[in-house]
Amino acid sequence: MPSIDATAKVAAHCAETSFASLPTDVREKLKRHLLDYLGVTLGAREHAESTPSILAGLGGGEGGEATAIGTGERRAPDRAAAVNGALAHSLDFDDTHRESSLHPGAPVIPAALAVAEREGATTERLLAGVSAGFDVACVLGRAVNPDAHYDRGFHGTATCGTFGAIAAAGVVAGLSADEFEAALGVGGSQAAGSLQFLSNGAWNKRLHPGLAARRGVTAVSLAAAGFRGADEAIEGEYGFLNGYTGDPNPEAFDRLGDGHAVMETALKPYPCCRYMHAAIDALTEIGEQVHPSTVNSVVVDLPEPGVRLTGDPIERKRRPSNFVDCQFSMPFSSALALSTGEAGLEAFLDAQTRLDDPALRGLMDATEVVSTETVQSLFPDQWAARVVVETDGGTRERFVETALGEPERPLGWDGVTEKFESLARSSGVGEDARRELVGVVREFEDRSVADLTDAVRRAATAAP
């Protein structure tokens, strides 16, 4: 690997990030991601079966300086960040960055918010921290090369998300460049997250961003107190790139600061693996034109990483046994889209209760998941999909280059608000509380962090 000064570049970028440096469109996009984060976190309180164990197991520190979004309780900042990060990812409905193949918001926003509450920071500094966190998580994701990172068994949201959480929390805390290098040095000893959860639908994946957010808060607290972290944490001989990927892309750091990663980050319309979304767009369109009973075969063409995560081994993917399995099963999503024409949260929750339905199983059995040069050649710039459905009446084919929610087909304020409303309403949050939260986020620069967390507590405690 060529000699680079990645750690120093990241530290300098974070130290130089300010709200004043963010263009208006970036500020608006950050606020939409904040509202989306609140929605998926509140939604997980009601709809994720892992939530009770997360709230209990990551509890403690009650009466602290930060807010647990799902319950409204006060907790120690690192505990609040852990709970909020875990819940934010528990429905797999949170934002995604396709080039780095990770979910930046779930580790980044909770770390920034927890430290903002502790420090009494302004909303402007909070948004600046979130922006830096997205930049750092995503540049690390590109640098490790997502395919090579996956091949080593690592979950980028957890590993790269640790550095993103450090960046976000550190900007909010006002770290200097030297202090950022120390914090990143601590992060290099903490970054972790295995893909082994794919073997049995385990809840580890949901936990990962929470642990990353907590690690971010801890690393920043240590650095602010004068702790000396390892130097060259990213590029060193035993650093992150050499340990976590067999095919690093150090040139990724040359782009740091050229743009804003949040502008490249998608908001998800479906609560499942992002690799499947373009295919779901195609399948729901085809589903409007065919009756599911006439379907003989379905071939879904995805990028190679998408096949590994959602179509291999195909026998197991055709027989999901729980919600996590469903979220990573292209055959299940194919059957769902063709049989219902929908793939939102309610459709997923309903369908997982009838996994033994012969009609649903028949469609899953009819689905093959492949990767051809047609789709793979576009990756990672585009997470495209080609779908071919053979029916009694003929063949239907669709190619979707860009899934709904990507920057090229974005969810604007109306779409994000609709998603937030659905998640919060289904979790028992009343209309007044929902309206208040939307209003605070939309006017965030002119409000305080306390305005947001007070509204969150009212929403959480008013719901059953």
Written as one string, the DSSP assignment of 234-296 is TTSTTSHHHHH-SS--GGGGGGTTSS-GGGGEE--SSSS-GGGHHHHHHHHHHHTTS-GGGEE
Domain ranges of the chain: 6-266, 274-400
- Where residue 2 falls among pLDDT bands split at 50, 70, 90? low
List b or e across 330-368, with b for residues whose CB sees 16 or more CB atoms inside 10 angstroms: bbbbbbbbbbbebbebebbeebbeebeeeebbebbbbbb
Contacts of 60 (CB under 8 A, 6+ apart): 75, 76, 79
Average pLDDT score over residue span 172-200: 97
For 29-59, write each residue's pLDDT tens digit.
Answer: 999 999 999 999 999 999 999 999 999 999 7
Query: 138 and 99 in contact (C-beta within 8 Å)?
Result: yes
Q: Is the pLDDT of residue 338 over 80?
A: yes
394-400, strands of its sheet edge to edge: 367-370, 295-301, 385-391, 394-400
Q: Which fold has domain 6-266?
A: 2-methylcitrate dehydratase PrpD (1.10.4100)
Q: Which fold has domain 274-400?
A: 60s Ribosomal Protein L30; Chain: A; (3.30.1330)
Query: 101 and 72 in contact (C-beta within 8 Å)?
Result: no
Average pLDDT score over residue span 255-282: 95
Query: 96 and 103 in contact (C-beta within 8 Å)?
Result: yes
Query: 199 and 161 in contact (C-beta within 8 Å)?
Result: no
Q: What is the pLDDT of residue 331?
A: 98
Please give the distance of CA 337 from its chain centroid, rounded to a whole number: 22
The CA-based angle 28-30-31, given to 5 degrees, is 65
Query: 290 and 396 in contact (C-beta within 8 Å)?
Result: yes
Average pLDDT score over residue span 12-24: 98
